[in-house]
Amino acid sequence: MMDLLRLNWFLVVILAFLGLYCLLVSRNLLRLLIGIEILSKSCILALVSSGVAIGKVNTAQTLAITMIVVEVVVVAVALGLIIRAYGATRSIDMWKMNQLKD
Amino acid sequence: MSSYLLLLFALVLFSLLAVVFRNMLLAALSLGAASVALTLILFALSAPWAAAFELSVCAGLITVLFVSAVSMIRKEELFLKEGRARFALLPFFLLLFGIGFWFFGDRLAVALRGMPGLVGEQAGVGVLLWSVRSHDLVGQLCIILAGVLVIKAFFGRGRD
C-alpha cells in the first residue's frame, strides 16, 4: 500500500507541475483553463489516493465529489468570461486583455 | 499492477498532450481522454462514486463545454503563437520535480498515517455525504447557484 501511495503521489506532483507550468507559460486563455483543469485532476488523485492509503476512502470520495462540482462551475464561469472577452477584443491572447481598460 | 501503471502513464501522456497541442480542439479532447484515464484509476483505487462523477462531469460535460467554446472562436485565434521554445524545458523540469519528490514519498505516507480519524468514517458514501458532511452540500448548492447567476449575467437577454 505504501508503494501505491508513493507512486500515486509521484504522479500527483508531475500533474501539478504540468498544470502550473501551463499556467505560467501559456498566453492562450483556453489553455490556461486547461492548466487549471490538470491541477484539479492532480488534487482529486491526491485526495483519493491518500484516502485509500489510510483506509478512509469514503470521506475522500465525498471530498472529491465536492471538488468536481466546484471544478465544473469554475470551468463554466471561466469559459463564459473567455467568450465575453473574445467578443470584446476578438482575441484570446492574454496579453491583449489590457485593452479592455480603453 | 502493470495495467495500473499503464493507466498512470496514459494520464500523464494525455495531460502533456493537452498542454503541448497547438490545436485547441485536440487539446480539449486530450483533456477529456485524461479524465477517462483518471476515472479508470479511481475505479482501480476502489473509489467508484468519485470515478462516476469524474467520468460524467469532467470527461463528459467539461469536454463538451470546451469544444463548444472552441467552436465559437475563430480558427486563427486558436492557433495562437505563444513562444513554443519555452515548452522545450518542460520535460527537464518535470524530471527534476519527479526525482526530487520521489525521496519525500515515504515521509508523506508516515505523516498521513499519523493523522487523526474523521467522524463517521465507517459509513457509506451516501450517509457520509448526506449526514456527516451535509455542510458540503450547502456549499455545492451555493456555488452552483452562483455559477448559474454569473452565466445568466453574461449571456442573459437585457431589458433594452
Q: Do A53 and B61 touch (CB under 8 A)?
A: no
Which domain CATH number covers A31? Answer: 1.10.287.3510
Q: From chain A, pick out residues whose CB is under 8 angstroms from the CB of B8.
A: 7-8, 11
What global pTM score does this model have? 0.86
How large is the average pLDDT for residues A5-10?
81
Q: Do A44 and B125 touch (CB under 8 A)?
A: no
Considering CB atoms only, which of A6, A27, A90 is closest to B80? A27
Q: From chain B, pick out residues whose CB is under 8 angstroms from the CB of A60.
A: 47, 50
Q: Using an 8 Å Cβ cutoff, are A11 and B11 in contact? A: yes
Question: Residue B109: its pLDDT value, please?
Answer: 67
Q: Do A10 and B102 touch (CB under 8 A)?
A: yes
How large is the average pLDDT for residues A65-85?
91
Q: Do B112 and A58 touch (CB under 8 A)?
A: no
Q: Using an 8 Å Cβ cutoff, are A62 and B129 in contact? A: yes
Considering CB atoms only, which of A31, A54, A62 is closest to B136? A62
Q: From chain B, pick out residues whose CB is under 8 angstroms from the CB of A29.
A: none
How large is the average pLDDT for residues B10-31?
90
Question: Residue B132: its pLDDT value, please?
Answer: 75
Give per-residue pLDDT as tens, A88-100.
888 888 877 776 6
Locate the chain A residue with the closest alpha carbon to B125: A58
Domain that holds residue A27: 2-101
How far, in Å, CA of A45 to CA of A43, rounded?
Answer: 5
Q: From chain A, pick out residues whose CB is under 8 angstroms from the CB of B101.
A: 9-10, 13
Copy the grid coordinates of residue B60: 463528459
Question: Residue B115: its pLDDT value, please?
Answer: 66
Q: Residues B114-123: contacts with CB within 8 Å, 24+ apart?
A: B115/A54, B117/A56, B118/A56, B118/A59, B121/A55, B121/A56, B121/A58, B121/A59, B123/A58
Domain count along chain A:
1
Q: From chain A, pick out residues whose CB is under 8 angstroms from the CB of B74.
A: 90
